[in-house]
Amino acid sequence: MSPRRWDLFQQAEARHLDQMEPAWCVWYGLGTRHFYAVATWTTPEPLLVEARTAGRLRDLMREAEGPAFFTPPRGLSAAFASSRRPSPPGATMTSTQDGERAVRWELPHDLALIGRTRGMAREVLGHWELSVPVDDVVLVVGELLANAIRHGEAPVTLVLRAVAGRLHVEVTDHGPAMPRYLDLGVEAVHGRGLGIVGALADESGVDGFSDFPGKMVWARWRLLRGSGPG
């Protein structure tokens, strides 16, 4: 579908706002003709705001951050300060000159949030415009989070990284038990998480921590040339 030419200004507004707001991932939805922003710092649950205009979206972002989020230095105007707003404590959206992009969320130990987190992962992947099987990646995100919340210990962290020609999905928890691939019968309902991950990802694995309890379970997909970093 070709872009709506009458939305080019809104798309440019969204790109500019995304560059000026390192604590948020901002984009414009051509289908809905709304602006969206996903918070990239640690929150009790994933945070998404939506508005019909860029100005209203910015207002909602400020409301979500709260009045104590940022105090302009003495002698610096509020307008200038807001245009140079730094990442808040715990902010985790990063982008480097060589094209690496990453987003990180520390999530509550709550299975009810998996669906919403999968939706936010889908939105971020769409914003990055990577040539990956998005449905597969989102399914893997859900499986890894479910395993970490059911069998691991808080805090649980989800990281998406696009670097060196690959998309990385990494879920970390601090429980001592290591996940295992199980040889299950065809009628088994539960316990297939790592098997699903291994079938959908190009590569997958588990890395334990040597200095403290916990592990990182990861999956990777190769990016087609020209679709992302590397």
The count of other CB atoms within 10 Å of the CB of residue 101 is: 20
Q: Which of 192 and 14 is assigned the larger pLDDT?
A: 14
Convert the pLDDT of each residue in 103-158 to its tens digit.
Answer: 888 888 878 778 878 888 888 888 888 899 999 999 999 999 988 988 888 888 99
**Candidates 3.30.720, 2.60.120, 3.30.70, 3.30.460; CATH matching 1-88:** 3.30.720
pLDDT at residue 117, rounded to an integer = 84
Confidence band (pLDDT; 50, 70, 90) for 96?
Answer: low
Q: What percent of the chain has pLDDT over 70?
A: 72
pLDDT at site 205: 92
Residues 35-55: pLDDT tens digits?
Answer: 999 887 666 777 889 999 999
DSSP 230: -
pLDDT at 164: 87
Nearest C-alpha neighbor of 138 from the set 221, 42, 78: 221
Q: In 3D, which of 91, 158, 156, 166 has the Cα closest to residue 128?
A: 166
Listed in sequence order, the residues at least 6 apart from 196 whose beta carbon sits closer than 8 Å to its beta carbon are 139, 140, 143
What is the residue extent of each domain of the chain? 1-88, 92-230
The C-alpha angle 209, 159, 29, rounded to 5 degrees, equals 175
Which are the contacts of 170, defined by CB distance < 8 A and separation ≥ 6?
157, 158, 159, 161, 216, 217, 218
Read off the pTM: 0.59
What's the whole-number average pLDDT of the chain? 76
* Separation of first and last alpha carbons in the chain: 27
Residue 210 has pLDDT above 50, yes or no: yes
In degrees, rounded to 5, the angle at the alpha carbon of residue 161 between the alpha carbons of residues 217 and 52 is 120
Q: How would you list the strands of the sheet with 215-222, edge to edge?
A: 94-95, 101-107, 156-163, 166-173, 215-222, 203-208
What CATH class does 92-230 carry? Answer: alpha beta
